Structure 1
Amino acid sequence: MSARVLIVDDLFPNLKLLETKLSLEYFDVVSAMNGPDALAICEKGLCDIVLLDVMMPGMDGFEVCRRIKTTPTTAHLPVVMVTALDQPSDRLRGLDAGADDFLTKPIDDTALFARVRSLVRLKAMTDELRTRAMASRDFGFGDPLAAAAAETGQNARLLVVDDRRASSERMAGALGQYHCVEVEADPQRALVRATEGHVDVAVVSLDLDGFDGLRLCSQLRSLDRTRGIPVVMVADAGDRDRIMRGLDLGVHDYLVRPVDRNELVARVRTQVRRKRFADSLRESVQASMELAVMDGLTGLHNRRYLDAHLAGLFAESTLRGRPVSVLLLDIDRFKSINDRFGHDAGDEVLRQFAERIRAHTRGIDVVARFGGEEIVVVVPDTGLDGAQQVAERIRERIEAMPFPIHGGTRAIDVTVSIGVAVRLPEDGGPASLLKRADTALYRAKEEGRNRVVAAAA
């Protein structure tokens, strides 16, 4: 997988060495020799991952990383800090700044390439979501990236899979200060828990008795219901080959025994933040998709959805020789409601009108706001007689109960006129079916309102 890697180092020989290594692995490389230039490249979207030297004059790597991770437009970028510092306190400082990993000089090429590919792969999974989620701002949802950048990464549900009691208790004790932790010694039961429960991060020991922990990691990454759960491996220092294999399988992060409790907490926090970032993007996309086809006032489908869906139902009805009917409903004298009681009251009536219609239609029926106070109900696999019965039930329900307005302080009587039409062989498309329903509705209005009229065959 190719990607654009930003190398940040104030020493030119270090830049050229890393650039040569990564270019030979078919990565595109850009470089910066100080923090401000690196931030500018990130903000312009010119890189997919950052390899960041810690020891730089002026703005050091920790500060550069912190700024990348707290800026909404760059918080998604993976940052690997490259340093000669190898103390746990140094790693912890970088992880607290938001770094995704540390590589210690001299850099092991295999570890470098495996980590870069792993992080780039994880980033690619959210890039499309980021692009689509940004459109949600146009629907008034706010900025999903800003919300993600402010995430604390705490109060998550964690699953620790380790059959070493002392080890699992230490990890649970460290993580339990910030999260809800469940411990499972049996890998098969752990997989079931992850599948059935709401797990935010799984911490998996690779050294399970009689079972390859890497296989559990692979299962978690491959199953539909667990694929979105970040997985953190815990391995022995000499288990380098399996760590590299795990990263190739898509495992998100790893720790080497003896596990530093502060590093464990920091790495898990990073994974929680990353998962919630992806979840928030996904929710924004879903919400914007729903809003694109929903009417904001009534909660019904809108005209755009109706036009697309009715065309499909009409074509299917023609192909299968099955009936499809349409009800066109219009509140009687709705303008007078707005004039007498105000537009807020009119909106209250429309919302309740939509609710009553929904209550008397099936799940397979399409209910959509056609425009103004008009609502269309598409009734598949239903002939004219059946559609008239549905329309009459709705009409009776509207007339039977007054509509509360002004927050329930008063109520008014409302009636509805309904035109009904069924698809005919000569109908050229949905437009002609809707036209005949509209003609029937017009007749219902002319004949005194508060009635159902069916279009002539």
Structure 2
Amino acid sequence: MNDGKSKILIVDDISANVDVLRAILERKGYQICMAPSGEIALKILPEIEPDLVLLGVTMPEMDGFEVCQKMKENPDLADIPVIFVTGKVATEDIVRGFNVGGSDYVSKPFQYEEILARVSSQIKIRELIQEKEALIKELDSLSRIDPLTKLSNRRDVKEILSYEQSRFERYGKGLTIGLGDIDFFKKINDQYGHDAGDYVLKEVAVILKKNIRKVDSVARWGGEEFLVVLPDTTLNGAAKVIEKIRSSIESFNFEFNQEKIKVTMSFGVACHANECNQMESIIKLADDLLYKAKEQGRNRVITM
């Protein structure tokens, strides 16, 4: 069964072949587009985005093998299945078709049921591949998100840091990070319960996101720790951003089950000083500064 939405491009210079194929496929509800040559097909393919190409082999100027090869060399067209339409049934021709990226072939004279079966099969295979790719992308995305706070997780932000490290080495612009920790978080869990602790983590995540730019990143680094990545930002500029976050958290009305919870955060802020700095050492420095903020009474920002 066809859902009536699958689009097929028929490429052949012989109008009789096109008419027969079109009649067979339109009867089953397929949308049909046509091109009388390989050159025209390659021009219109990106625009029409068909689900399948029925491609004549013997055509003047550019034969079907060359058209198929050019399609497979183009990343935007490579996943479109190609069924060759040919009167050539010699083994070497069939093998050549597969070698240039063809998915199947139909031979003349056309057999109604065979054409429908081969077309339906290739479209279903493509749909399955697309569903698999979408699932892989979704699973990859989920594996990068902290399920509680919906922020990037440690894995994701490490890749972001690696990218920003490369940008810094290339352009030399400022790159600063802030590592923050919720003060006395264990006491919050002990006094109000773990559900209250989860509530605090989620609200802190919202405040963090509200106070950074689109080019910045924030992640749950682990437990009650959060990492803020501020590209193209000086140490002084980053300190102002982090201080604004700290102040916003201190003044926010955290209330869970009608109980008010006092929440503050401490931060350490470090920047990329030169090309010799590796990201691990910057994170370690921010962590050391965070420890100093804790030693000095918490609820403060310490910079390098």
- The normalised TM-score by structure 1 is 0.53
- Consecutive unaligned residues of structure 2, counting only runs of 5 or more, are none
1:394 pairs, out of 225, 241, 245, with 245
Alpha-carbon deviations, 1:290-321, whole Å to 9, x = none?
45544333343332444565467568757976
Alpha-carbon deviations, 1:146-193, whole Å to 9, x = none?
xxxxxx886643323345555435434433465642312344443244
The separation in 2 between residues aligned to 1:213 and 1:308, in whole angstroms, is 43
The separation in 1 between residues aligned to 2:88 and 2:171, in whole angstroms, is 65
Q: Name 1:354's counterpart in structure 2.
A: 205
Q: Name 2:234's counterpart in structure 1.
A: 383
How far off is 1:227 after superposition?
1.1
The separation in 2 between residues aligned to 1:207 and 1:280, in whole angstroms, is 34
2:70 pairs, out of 219, 222, 236, with 219
* Higher relative contact order (CA closer than 8 Å, sequence separation 6+): 2
Letter in 1 for 2:66: R
Q: 3-state DSSP class of the match of 1:264? A: helix
Q: 3-state DSSP class of the match of 1:184? A: strand
Q: Name 1:157's counterpart in structure 2.
A: 7
Q: 3-state DSSP class of the match of 2:78? A: coil
Q: What does 1:326-345 correspond to in 2, within 5 Å?
A: 326-332=177-183, 334-335=185-186, 338=189, 343-344=194-195
Q: What does 1:30-179 correspond to in 2, within 5 Å?
A: 156-162=6-12, 167-176=17-26
The separation in 2 between residues aligned to 1:342 and 1:178, in whole angstroms, is 62
Q: 3-state DSSP class of the match of 2:267? A: strand
Alpha-carbon deviations, 1:91-128, whole Å to 9, x = none?
xxxxxxxxxxxxxxxxxxxxxxxxxxxxxxxxxxxxxx
The answer to whether residue 281 in structure 2 is matched with residue 438 in structure 1 is: no
Alpha-carbon deviations, 1:242-267, whole Å to 9, x = none?
54532332211111122222111111
How far off is 1:211 after superposition?
5.3
The separation in 2 between residues aligned to 1:238 and 1:398, in whole angstroms, is 74
Q: Is the 8 A contact 1:384 1:454 kept in 2?
A: no
The answer to whether residue 299 in structure 2 is matched with residue 454 in structure 1 is: no
How far off is 1:326 after superposition?
1.5
Q: Name 1:255's counterpart in structure 2.
A: 106
Q: Is the 8 A contact 1:153 1:273 kept in 2?
A: no
Alpha-carbon deviations, 1:356-410, whole Å to 9, x = none?
434543455443221112111122343210111221343455567657979xx99
- Change in Cα spacing, 1:177 to 1:393, as seen in structure 2 (3 Å) is farther
Letter in 1 for 2:10: V
1:194 pairs, out of 38, 45, 57, with 45
How far off is 1:271 after superposition?
1.3
Letter in 1 for 2:236: D
The separation in 1 between residues aligned to 2:189 and 2:211, in whole angstroms, is 26
1:268 pairs, out of 119, 123, 144, with 119
2:56 pairs, out of 205, 209, 223, with 205
- Consecutive unaligned residues of structure 1, counting only runs of 5 or more, are 1-151
Alpha-carbon deviations, 1:116-144, whole Å to 9, x = none?
xxxxxxxxxxxxxxxxxxxxxxxxxxxxx
How far off is 1:207 after superposition?
4.9
- Change in Cα spacing, 1:325 to 1:246, as seen in structure 2 (3 Å) is same
- Change in Cα spacing, 1:306 to 1:248, as seen in structure 2 (3 Å) is closer
Q: Name 1:40's counterpart in structure 2.
A: none
Letter in 1 for 2:7: R
Q: Name 2:85's counterpart in structure 1.
A: 234
The separation in 2 between residues aligned to 1:178 and 1:262, in whole angstroms, is 11
The separation in 1 between residues aligned to 2:270 and 2:9, in whole angstroms, is 57
Q: Name 1:185's counterpart in structure 2.
A: 35
How far off is 1:429 after superposition?
4.7
Q: 3-state DSSP class of the match of 2:67? A: helix
The separation in 2 between residues aligned to 1:351 and 1:341, in whole angstroms, is 15
- Change in Cα spacing, 1:222 to 1:302, as seen in structure 2 (3 Å) is same
Count of aligned pairs: 302
Alpha-carbon deviations, 1:16-75, whole Å to 9, x = none?
xxxxxxxxxxxxxxxxxxxxxxxxxxxxxxxxxxxxxxxxxxxxxxxxxxxxxxxxxxxx
The separation in 1 between residues aligned to 2:16 and 2:33, in whole angstroms, is 12
Letter in 2 for 1:205: G
Q: Is the 8 A contact 1:329 1:419 kept in 2?
A: yes
Q: CA RMSD in A?
A: 4.2
The separation in 2 between residues aligned to 1:167 and 1:250, in whole angstroms, is 22
